[in-house]
Amino acid sequence: MRIFPGLSLIADDDSPAAKSPIPAYVVHLVGIMLLGIILLRIMQHSMMHSGLIARNHLT
């Protein structure tokens, strides 16, 4: 059962994905998660800084 070429539900012995220790989709998922975490951190920092500036201006 193949969804995409190179990404198989049941790993074939002769496929390169089976020989590599980490499947390609796992690498992609980890990369997307890392990018999302970094973006969230940047957004949190910018929101915190803007909130602090707004509070300082209000008082």
Kindly report, residue by residue over 3-52, the tens digit of the pLDDT. 455 555 555 555 555 566 778 888 889 999 999 999 999 988 888 777 77
The predicted model scores a pTM of 0.44
pLDDT at 1: 44
CA distance 6 to 15: 7
Predicted local confidence at residue 5, as pLDDT: 53
Q: How far apart are the first and last CA of the chain?
A: 64
Contact 24/7 with Cβ under 8 angstroms? yes
What pLDDT score was predicted for residue 46? 84
User: DSSP secondary-structure letter at 2?
Assistant: E
The partner residues of 22 in beta bridges, in order of sequence, read: none
* Confidence (pLDDT) at 19: 60
